[in-house]
């Protein structure tokens, strides 16, 4: 299977590195394009066997899966460029461009074409990503293939396209939200007496541990919280203080604001 990435910036590059890291694809099965040789040199610096070119049409001609990973405002231009070389009845076309809908893609290439709109987050590079998949006109076999591909990079969920904005807020913006909590907890750790680098590692491993416990137990967070809170104890006092400062409300408000 050959996968062509049209655009290999932050998101395209993260997916490429994740696919190679997971063993899903051999480096030579991946073709990457970019506007500049510097970007291509960067991806080849990760693995010299990755095939690279600045010619988008050349890249898609021999691909089984084409991943459009350019900026949203460049999608139309890129589609016009590669359309003559696409084999829409054979290839799987995947767009990871934020804000570009299935309707937009259909208008660019024809309403009878098959497209996937895929929104991963940057943790796909670490094989801990969350990816949302919507599609138009795809067979169940094609849907299964795309879901299997992205499931090797973390958690992949097929959804109705109307849920993509909510998924983006929860998982893509959510990466930054989780990191903001980590930053705040680190600052608190320094105030409590730890050196910055010590506070960073403590909080990072604590958050990783919390997520791992929930993933392995499939418990509701409140059930797990109850295990570490005792009547009159320090944990419940800390939780209550955070809620008094608007912790849950702030998180929900941030998610809603991310969908505007």
Which tens digits make up the pLDDT trace of 41-96?
A: 999 999 999 999 999 999 999 899 999 999 999 999 999 999 889 887 788 999 99
For strand 129-136 and strand 115-120, is the pairing parallel, antiparallel, or unpaired? Answer: antiparallel
Q: Work out the angle at residue 174's Cα, subtended by the Cα atoms of residues 170 and 175, and round it to the nearest 5 degrees.
A: 140
User: Angle of helix 10-21 relative to helix 37-46, nearest 10 degrees?
Assistant: 20
Task: State the average pLDDT over residues 12-21.
Answer: 96
Task: State the average pLDDT over residues 206-212.
Answer: 96
**What pLDDT does 112 receive?**
67
Closest CA to 46 of 2, 15, 1, 6: 15
HSE at residue 35, side-chain half, CA atoms within 13 A, is 7
- Delineate the domains of the chain, giving CATH numbers in brackets: 3-159 (3.40.50.720), 167-257 (1.10.3730.10)
- The beta strand positions in the chain, using DSSP E, are 3-6, 30-33, 51-53, 65-68, 92-95, 115-120, 129-136, 154-158
Let me know: does 134 contact 158? Beta carbons within 8 Å: yes
**What pLDDT does 26 receive?**
96
Distance, CA of 97 to CA of 94 (rounded, Å): 9
pTM: 0.92
């Amino acid at each position: 299977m050959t996968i062509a990435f049209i655009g290999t910036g932050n998101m395209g590059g993260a997916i490429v590195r994740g696919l190679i890291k997971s063993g899903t694809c051999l480096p030579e099965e991946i073709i990457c394009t970019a506007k500049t040789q510097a970007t291509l040199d960067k991806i080849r610096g990760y693995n010299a066997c990755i095939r690279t070119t600045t010619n988008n049409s050349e890249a898609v001609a021999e691909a089984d899966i084409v991943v459009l990973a350019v900026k949203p405002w460049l999608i139309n231009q890129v589609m016009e460029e590669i359309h003559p070389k696409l084999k829409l009845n054979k290839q799987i076309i995947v767009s990871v461009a934020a804000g570009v809908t299935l309707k937009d893609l259909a208008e660019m290439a024809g309403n009878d074409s098959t497209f996937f709109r895929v929104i991963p987050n940057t943790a796909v590079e670490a094989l801990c990503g969350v990816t949302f998949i919507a599609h138009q006109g795809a067979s169940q076999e094609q849907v299964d293939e795309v879901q299997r591909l992205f499931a090797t990079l973390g958690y992949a969920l097929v959804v109705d396209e109307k849920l993509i904005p909510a998924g983006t807020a929860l998982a893509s913006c959510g990466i930054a939200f989780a990191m903001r909590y980590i930053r705040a907890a680190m600052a608190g750790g320094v105030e409590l007496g730890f050196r910055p680098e010590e506070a960073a590692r403590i909080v990072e491993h604590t958050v990783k541990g919390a997520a791992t416990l929930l993933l392995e137990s499939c418990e509701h967070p409140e059930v797990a919280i109850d295990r570490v809170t005792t009547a009159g104890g320090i944990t419940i006092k800390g939780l209550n203080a955070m809620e008094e400062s608007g912790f849950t409300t702030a998180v929900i408000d941030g998610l809603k604001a991310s969908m505007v």
